[in-house]
């Protein structure tokens, strides 16, 4: 069980106020002037990118509304599962189903089955970040942190570069926010032409 003491400054009177966050919805109320200036609610869930040492080159991307570590145990026990799935990156989500769908759409061309994707875990994390409008992960496995941070920095720099140039239409979709659906559809067409 985790609880937090949050120290804030009341925007109304400027006094220091303290609130305890524990489970249920919490309102920020100034103990001095009684102004109410915000609230905190438990997150609905998470989108995870999981990796498995025994299955390199694959990532699982899914949602959980429970403890992510518990979810890893469940998917590791799943039928036909080899090795142990671990959290590579965790993104907070207040709309887990909708967010998972955005991620799966973005990763469609790598999809093996349901939430299994044939993609390097860091690549999957980057695509999930993009699909979730550049949301930063709450947590990352330390072994992927440096590679992920470098890739994000490179993308930001590239995006800045393109924004500075006078052809905004040529912006890279991965960092400027073009809808992921528009990116994925042509690739699906390509696949069905090849294998359909
Ligand atoms: Zn106040």
Given a cut of 90, is residue 56 above it in pLDDT? yes
Residue 165's pLDDT band (cuts 50, 70, 90): confident
Given a cut of 70, is residue 1 above it in pLDDT? no
Q: How far is the CA of 16 from the centre of ligand 1 (A)?
A: 8
Residue 187's pLDDT band (cuts 50, 70, 90): very low
pTM greater than the 0.95 cutoff = no
Q: Whole-number mean pLDDT of the chain? A: 84
Given a cut of 90, is residue 40 above it in pLDDT? no
**pLDDT above 90 covers what percent of the chain?**
58
Q: How far is the CA of 117 from the centre of ligand 1 (A)?
A: 50
94-115 pLDDT tens trace: 999 999 999 999 999 999 999 9
Q: How far is the CA of 36 from the centre of ligand 1 (A)?
A: 8
pLDDT at 174: 55
Q: How far is the CA of 4 from the centre of ligand 1 (A)?
A: 20
144-153 pLDDT tens trace: 999 999 999 9
Length of the chain: 196
Higher pLDDT residue, 169 or 163? 163
Spatial CB neighbours of 134, under 8 Å, sequence gap ≥ 6: 175, 177
Given a cut of 50, is residue 185 above it in pLDDT? no
Q: How far is the CA of 10 from the centre of ligand 1 (A)?
A: 5
Q: What is the mean pLDDT of residues 71-78?
A: 92
Q: How far is the CA of 46 from the centre of ligand 1 (A)?
A: 34
Q: What is the mean pLDDT of residues 51-69?
A: 95
Given a cut of 80, is residue 132 above it in pLDDT? yes
Q: How far is the CA of 25 from the centre of ligand 1 (A)?
A: 20
Higher pLDDT residue, 59 or 188? 59
Q: How far is the CA of 38 from the centre of ligand 1 (A)?
A: 12
Higher pLDDT residue, 99 or 180? 99
Give dist(CA 18, CA 7) in Å, integer: 5
Q: How far is the CA of 44 from the centre of ligand 1 (A)?
A: 30
Q: How far is the CA of 42 from the centre of ligand 1 (A)?
A: 24
Higher pLDDT residue, 17 or 125? 125
């Amino acid at each position: 069980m985790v609880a937090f003491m949050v120290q804030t400054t009341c925007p109304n009177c400027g006094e220091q106020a303290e609130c305890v966050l524990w489970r249920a919805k919490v309102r920020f109320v100034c103990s001095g002037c009684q102004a109410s200036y915000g609230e905190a609610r438990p997150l609905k869930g998470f989108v995870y990118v999981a990796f498995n040492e025994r299955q390199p080159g694959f990532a699982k991307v899914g949602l959980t509304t429970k403890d992510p570590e518990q979810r890893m145990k469940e998917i590791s026990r799943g039928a036909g599962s080899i090795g142990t799935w671990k959290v590579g990156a965790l993104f907070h989500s207040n709309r887990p189903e909708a967010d998972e769908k955005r991620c799966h759409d973005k990763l469609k061309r790598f999809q093996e089955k349901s939430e299994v994707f044939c993609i390097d875990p860091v690549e999957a994390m980057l695509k999930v970040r993009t699909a979730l409008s550049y949301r930063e992960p709450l947590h990352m496995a330390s072994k992927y942190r440096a590679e992920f941070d470098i890739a994000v920095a490179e993308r930001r720099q590239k995006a800045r570069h393109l924004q500075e140039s006078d052809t905004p239409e040529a912006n890279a979709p991965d960092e400027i926010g073009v809808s992921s659906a528009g990116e994925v559809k042509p690739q699906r067409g390509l696949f069905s032409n090849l294998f359909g």
